[in-house]
Amino acid sequence: MKPIIGVVPLVDEAKNSLWMLPGYMEGVEKAGGVPVMLPLTSEEETIDILLGTIQGILLTGGHDVCPSTYGEDKIPQCGATCRERDKMEHILLGRALGRDIPVLGICRGIQFINVFLGGSLYQDLPTQRPSCTEHHQKPPYDVPVHELELMDNSGLFRLLNRKSLSVNSYHHQAIKEKARPLKIMAVADDGIIEAVEMTDKKFVWGIQWHPEFSYKSDENSRLIFEEFVRKCIE
C-alpha cells in the first residue's frame, strides 16, 4: 500500500492563501507515496487526527523561522516569518518524533528541525557568514551550483554511495549551532551544514538544497525522495 505523506503548506499572507510548489508533491508521488497538503493549523486535536492518517511528513521551504524560537532578536536582513506556521510545525514535529513518524525537511525544513531540537540559525548568510559559495542561485533552480562533502557512515553517504555531491541552492539562512540530537550528513565547501539526521529515529532527515526542483533531472534527488517514502512504508 502506498504511504500517505502530509506536506506542510506554503503560506501567501498577502493573498490570504495556502499553496504548494508541484515539485514537492510530484517528487513524493514519483517515489511511490501519496502526497496530501495539510491545513495550516495549530489545533492539537486536529494535528493528532492528521497524524493518525498519514505515514510521513514533508516539511517544506518558505518563510524564515522566527528568531525568537531560538532566543534571538530579529535582524533587519531576516526575511518574513509566519508565527502560525512556526506554531503548527512545533506541534506537528514534536508529535511526529514521539510517534517515530518519518520526517523529511527541505530548506526551511532542516532549519526548523534544528531549531526545534535546540539549535540556532544564521538569520542571513551574506551578513553573518559571508563566503564565495553560491547559496542563493538565480533560475533555473534545478542546476547545481556548489559541492557538498558527505560524511562517512551517514545515511546520505550509504544511500548515494559517494563522498561528494553537486547540488542546487536557494536559501539565505542555515544552521549556525547544530542541535545535539542531530548528526551531520553533509557540509558545503564553505563549511555550512547542508544535511543532518537523527540516527535514533526511523527516518528524520533535513537537507538544505532543493530536490523538489531537481528530481526530474537528478537521480540523487530522486533517491532521496524514494528513501523517504520507503521508510514511510516500513
Give the catalytic positions in this structure. 107, 210, 212
φ/ψ of 202, rounded to 5, equals -55, -45
How many Å apart are CA 88 and CA 189, to the nearest integer? Answer: 33
Q: How many whole angstroms separate alpha carbon 115 and alpha carbon 24?
A: 22
Neighbours of 219 (CB within 10 A): 11
From residue 148, how far is each of 75, 187, 215 by CA, in Å? Answer: 28, 5, 17
- Does the CA dihedral 190-194-198-203 come out positive or negative? negative
Establish whether the linkage from the previous residue to 140 is cis, with ω within 30° of 0: yes
DSSP character for 136? Answer: B
Alpha-helix runs per DSSP H in the chain: 22-30, 44-51, 83-99, 108-116, 125-128, 155-160, 211-214, 219-233
> How far apart (Å, rounded) are the C-alpha atoms in residues 234 and 231?
5
